[in-house]
Amino acid sequence: MTEQPLILEMGMGADVHGHDMTKAALRAVSDAIRHSSLTLFGTYKHPGEMRVEVTIAVPFPDQVDRQAVADALPYGIIDVTVVEGGLHDRGMGGKEDITLAVAGVKAFLDTGEHGFVPTAGA
């Protein structure tokens, strides 16, 4: 296999009135993937073969619905990892507290039979 990392995107998402870790995570993933127009995968006609690694950082990792995060991505074989991080701002108090999630989305594709050759140092 000649799998190559082809995309790395970062995103942030917030839930400003509910402390919902999954909602913040979904918004972070959406933010990350909106930064790219991934025409590369359509060119090689194999977007379903793409392997996608998603890392979500939130204050309370056990409260994230990993399947909901995976379902938010349109293509590929998705692996979601959730770690402690992000922000839980208690400065406003009560329902006005803010939960912030950070997402890293990496996409990989086996380029062995596609004629795709990354440049040196990529």
**Residue 27 CB neighbours (<10 A):** 20
20-48 tens-digit pLDDT = 999 999 999 999 988 776 666 666 666 66
- What string of DSSP letters covers 58-114? ES-GGGS-HHHHHHTSSSSEEEEEEEE-SEEE-SS-GGG-EEEEEEEEEEEEE-TTT
- Triad 83, 108, 14: Cα angle to 5°: 35
Q: In this structure, what DSSP letter does residue 17 have?
A: S
75-109 tens-digit pLDDT = 889 999 999 999 888 766 666 678 999 999 998 87
What is the three-class DSSP state of 40?
helix
8 versus 68: the higher-pLDDT residue is 68
pLDDT value of position 27: 95
- Which residue segments constitute the domains of the chain, with CATH numbers given? 3-110 (3.30.1330.20)
